[in-house]
Amino acid sequence: MKFTSLVFKNLFRSRRRTVLTVLSIAVSLFVFGALVSLPSVANQVLADTASSVRIACHTKMGIAYPLPEAYKLKIATTPHVVAVTPSNYYAAIYHDPTDQIPSIAADPDNVEVMWSDWGFSPGGVEAFKRSRTAALAAEGTMKHYHFHVGQQIQLRGTTYPVDVTLTIVGTIARGPAPSFMLFHRDYLEELGGRPGKVDNFWVRADNSRTVPQVIAALNAQFANSSAETQCDSEAAFVGGFIGRIRVFFTLAELFGLIVVLTIGFVAANTAAMSIRERRNEIAVMRSIGFAARVILLLLVAESVVTALAGGILGAGAAFTVLKVFAVSSGALGPFAAIHMPAAVLLETLAAAMLIGVLSAYVPARAASRLNIVDALRLVN
Amino acid sequence: MNQTYAVELDHVTRTYKRDDFDVRALDDVTLRIPERRFVAIMGPSGSGKTTLLNLITGIDHATSGRVRVGREEITRMKERDLAAWRARHIGLVFQFYNLIPVLTAFENVELPLLLTDLGKAERRSHVEAALKAVGLADRLTHYPRQLSGGQEQRVAIARAIVTDPTIVVADEPTGDLDAVSAEEILSLLSHLSRQFNKTIVMVTHDARAERVVDSTYRLDKGVLIGTDVPTAVAGGGR
């Protein structure tokens, strides 16, 4: 503790250099924190949204191709199936093209069974079932657009060439994304001329142990038909989406590491310059009795304090910006839920600590062991 | 009666390697500095004065021979032990003061005390006493840049005496000062030597130093060529 003031006095001997070093470390760790948050958030989304009893069925050809709605009855009669909900994805715009609200058009009869974990507002599901133009909105959507229950809104379709006029009758607290809406598939069918097509059948099994059996039964049932199914557990279904972009996450992590490495070199150069300028003072301290080990610790402590200050600033900024981004963005589906997990926060601070120690260690060690006579003679 | 010595050098030689040449900075020097004396080591540039001082403080090592300071033979000490030994037994004063520019006078003087077990209050009282002893009790919060050369050297002397070392070593303490300030510093060192019974070893070119010191050792080309001991001192008085 008695050396603390010495460390801080030395840190502020060149305020501009210290401030610039702190800022450069802060910016790099902001980038690092934000980039490294992406994959961990994807994993978190998967863990949060995937139910152990829900199954998603789409065509074997891919999610861009529909299934016939007639499958609903066949699926419903499969052993261990509790509920079936056909759904279509309706990408919508509210007012401006930037106001995108991803929406799901689903049959209303079993929504409370199918998505019992979504946190529907009291009375919302009943009201939803009563009216064909009723909609349930995620709380993020309600907050972002300042909607209120009872409000009528019009959405313009982008994946479907039809507009829908909906009345919000309730809210969803814990859906798969912070911003989305749920409305009647029947309404969408009617506007589209009743094509009878379904993007995805959501199936609920009676318990998690029967899920593999149900998946096998469903795939077998529609094998060799004109629209063969590809049924997966919800975790595998969502994971499939995420898997397609996982390479970008890996790249993001790689870029994050490169940024940290780069700033590590910059910090090492700054530390080396700062220590080199003080060789005479270090020699004086050695000559009055400071052991090499104490000098080394003091110099590394200066660097660690600088790097940690940058780390706290950078991690704090990344945490805040991602939080603001998550609240204000509604068009990124589950990825609008990007935030900085506690583990990444700790990783960022650990990276700061590492930058501090590694950047100063080599020049500090050399300075702490310099020949006192030579160092004193050099400056004198 | 056995005479005790603050510093003893026995056949000390220090050789430096400069490119392909061996430079003999000190050549078989044997000298003894009695305790509680204020002595000067004088000689022309390159005579080995500073090398001798560096060997006494343990920041340089003899190529051969033996250096004993107080009761310790420092030629046998390891680097880590030497640092701790210096902190306890040596007070150093440099020609260019060598104060830490970002620290106040108080903090500069406190620096060696950070290596001791003293608490904050004790450190404060020691620092204030040291600065009072050099006449700078009113300059505690001043930074080196806010002090004159003479005042800076006084702070450096306060830093050297604050731990109550066995021996104070000064390397050309008046070398960077004007005549008036140099006189003040010599008087101060003489006063400290007499008041606190300190052994002070000073390397200097300054002829005025001979008036205030107890004895003078003369070096030339690394060889001890003579010792001048005033009659009063040689007879045991001060």
The end-to-end CA distance of chain A, in Å, is 32
Indicate if A221 and A277 belong to the same structural domain.
Answer: no
Structural domain ending residue among the three candidates A167, A198, A226: A226
- Do the domain assignments include residue A56? no
Chain B residues close to A286, C-beta within 8 Å: 59, 83
Instruction: Work out how many CB contacts closer than 8 A connect A with B.
Output: 68
Q: Which residue of A has its CA nearest to B115?
A: A290
Split into its structural domains, chain A has a count of 2
Q: What is residue A351's predicted lDDT score, i.e. its pLDDT?
A: 92
Q: Quick one: DSSP state of residue B113?
A: G
What pLDDT tens digit does each residue of chain A (380 aa) get?
788 989 999 988 888 999 999 999 999 999 999 888 877 767 766 666 656 789 999 998 887 789 999 999 999 999 999 999 999 999 999 988 888 888 999 999 989 999 998 999 999 999 999 999 999 999 989 998 999 999 999 999 988 889 999 999 999 998 877 788 999 999 999 998 878 899 999 999 998 899 999 999 999 999 998 899 999 988 888 777 777 777 888 888 889 889 889 988 988 898 898 888 888 899 999 999 999 999 999 999 999 999 999 999 999 999 888 877 765 554 445 455 567 888 889 999 999 999 999 999 999 999 888 888 888 876 55
In a domain, A91, yes or no: yes
Q: Supply the pLDDT for residue A178.
A: 78
Using CA atoms of A189, A195, A200, A204 in order, give the dihedral in degrees to the nearest 10.
Answer: 70
- Asked if A88 has any chain B CB less than 8 Å from its own CB, the reply is no
Give the H or E element holding residue A302: helix A292-328
User: Which of the four pLDDT bands, split at 50, 70 and 90, describes residue B17?
Assistant: confident
Instruction: Round to whole Å and give the CA distance between B191 and B187.
Output: 6
- Do residue A2 and residue B120 have CB atoms under 8 angstroms apart? yes
- Residue finishing a domain among A226, A257, A276: A226
Flag whether A237 is in a domain.
no
A-chain residues near B92 (CB < 8 A): 287-288
Q: Is residue A173 included in any domain, yes or no?
A: yes
Tell me: pLDDT of B142 over 50. Answer: yes
Contacts of B109 in chain A (CB under 8 A): none
Q: Which domain holds residue A146?
A: 66-226
A40-44, B101-105, B207-211: which is most confident: B101-105
Residue A57 resides in a domain = no
Same domain, A88 and A184: yes
Among residues of chain B, what percentage have pLDDT more than 90?
68
A167 burial level (CB within 10 Å; 0-12, 13-18, 19+): middle
Residue B238: is its pLDDT beyond 50? no
Report all structural domains of chain B as residue ranges with CATH numbers, in order of start: 5-228 (3.40.50.300)
For residue B215, the cross-strand partners are: B39
Q: Which residues of A245-275 are buried (b: 16+ CB within 10 A; e: fewer)?
A: eeeebeebbeebeebbeebbebbbebbbebb
Closest chain B C-alpha to A267 CA, distance in angstroms: 22
Same domain, A72 and A25: no
* d(CA B163, nearest CA chain A) in Å: 10
Q: Does A297 touch chain B (CB under 8 A)?
A: no
For B93, what's the count of Cα atoms within 13 Å in the CB-facing half-sphere?
32
- A170 and A259 both lie in a single domain: no
What is the pLDDT, as a whole number, of residue B195?
Answer: 87
- Inspect the interface and report whether the beta carbons of A373 and B84 lie closer than 8 Å: no
Same domain, yes or no: A215 and A127: yes
Which DSSP symbol is given to B4?
Answer: P
One domain for residues A212 and A254: no
Domain end (from A172, A194, A226):
A226
Look at residue A232 and tell me if it is in a domain: no
A9–chain B Cβ distance below 8 A for any pair: yes
Clarify whether residues A127 and A265 are in a common domain: no
Task: Tell me which chain A residue has its CA closest to the CA of residue B96.
Answer: A380
pLDDT number for residue B3? 65
Cβ–Cβ of B120/A372 closer than 8 Å?
no
Q: Which residues of B touch A (CB under 8 A)?
A: 54, 57, 59-60, 79-80, 83-88, 90, 92, 94-96, 98, 100-103, 107, 111-112, 114-115, 120, 159
Angle between helices A246-277 and A279-287 (to 10 degrees): 60
* Same domain flag for A93 and A132: yes
Whole-number pLDDT of residue B235 = 41
Q: A210 with A303, same domain?
A: no
Query: What pLDDT is attached to residue B113?
Result: 95
User: Do residue A43 and residue A76 come from a single domain?
Assistant: no
